[in-house]
Amino acid sequence: MPKTLKPICATIDPIAVAEFLNDQYSFNCTVKLLKAGVNHSYMVNNNDEEYVFRIYSLNWRSLTEIEAEVAYLNLLKEANLPISYPILTTANNFICTVNSVEGLRYGVLFSYAKGEKLLTFDKDLHFKVGQIMAEMHKVSLNKSIDRVSYNSGNLLDETFNYLPGFLPNDTEQYKFLLKLKSYLTNVIESAKEEELRSGVVHLDIWFDNMNIAGDDITIFDFDFCGNGWLVYDLAYYIMQVHSTEATPEEYELKVNSFLQGYESVTKISAEERRLMPILGLAIYVFYVGVQCKRFDDWSNVFLNEMHLKRLIDLRIKRWFEFNKLIF
């Protein structure tokens, strides 16, 4: 009898997912695969009500981490913030156990974020994103959850545990990123912490994690939420806006509107403003590491030396130079 080979990552049949959800939620639903990414997401339609079912990749998030994410989402939901929130099973559980061929995985059903992803949108919507982020930060201020606390070690150092396997260390891009790591470590460790608000951060708010329907914005995908300075969310967002706008004038217009929206709810300190053009770079370095770490079961469809060189040159280095930063 030939030996059965165990997969690293299996994409579960949407028909099987539908049967599973019908049992767990008393649904009569249809399901289609939405995205097999960092986790696997399925579009669920039950009697014209739409949901998204996320099956976390094997060993990607612990049960404790998922419970912390769910608790934080429920806190935001209770504050009436426009986010995609978890749905209870008929047994009153937010988290399902999924017996997949590669091992035990976890699943959570989320409300559907109505609307569509927009690469660019007008300044009034950026103003509203600023308001929503600020309201989220008011809820999370001085709170912590049982998840990672972001610091220079896990944002910067860990990337270099994986990067050499994909980008030769004699390339200009690798050398730049190594110098950037030292620069950012010094910035983070010398920051005036007493002037920086801390709490729970999303760490991935950009156009790909929000749906827009008219004037309504819904934020989703809190998979990377954790503890840290709230300015990380601000810094990452403005860096992402820079990557989508065609001209510096459009970028300035929209970022200023975003920040005005934010400060219509809560103020940004002088130290936070000083760090905003810098800390988005730390998050980008972190996500380079995530891509390298998850090569076997996700990023192999796009990750190679050329991808990394383009990402470093056209996103990271371009932002560094745009802000006239120097080592």
Domain membership of residue 8 (yes or no) is no
pLDDT band at 323 (very low <50, low <70, confident <90, very high): very high
Sign of the alpha-carbon dihedral angle for 20, 25, 28, 34 = negative
CB neighbours of residue 208 within 10 Å: 11
pLDDT one-digit tens code per residue, 202-231: 999 999 999 999 999 999 999 999 999 999
Nearest to 265 by CA among 143, 145, 149, 141: 141
pLDDT one-digit tens code per residue, 153-205: 999 999 999 999 999 999 999 999 999 999 999 999 999 999 999 999 999 99
Residues 179 and 245 in one domain: yes
Structural domains counted in the chain: 2
CB neighbours of residue 19 within 10 Å: 14
Asked if residue 280 lies in contact with residue 236, where contact means CB atoms within 8 angstroms, the answer is: yes
Domain range for 90: 14-111
Q: Where are the alpha helices (DSSP H) in 47-118?
A: 63-78
pLDDT one-digit tens code per residue, 168-180: 999 999 999 999 9
Task: Give the H/E segment covering residue 189.
Answer: helix 172-189
Q: Where does a domain end: 111, 132, 167? A: 111
Residues 74 and 208 in one domain: no
Residue 216: give its domain's CATH number: 3.90.1200.10
Residues 72 and 156 in one domain: no
Query: Which residues, at least 6 apart from 290, have a Cβ–Cβ distance to it below 8 Å?
Result: 38
Residues 95 and 132 in one domain: no
Domain membership of residue 4 (yes or no) is no
Identify the pLDDT of residue 296: 95
pLDDT surpasses 80 at 119: yes
Residues in the chain: 327
pLDDT one-digit tens code per residue, 29-74: 999 999 999 999 999 999 999 999 999 999 999 999 999 999 999 9
Per-residue pLDDT averaged across 119-128, rounded? 97
Residues 86 and 141 in one domain: no
Asked if residue 225 lies in contact with residue 137, where contact means CB atoms within 8 angstroms, the answer is: no
Please report, rounded to a whole number, the percentage of residues in the chain having pLDDT higher than 70: 100
Domain membership of residue 9 (yes or no) is no
Model confidence pTM above 0.85:
yes
Q: Where does a domain end: 77, 111, 145? A: 111
Residue 83: give its domain's CATH number: 3.30.200.20
Residues 133 and 38 in one domain: no
Residues 177 and 298 in one domain: yes
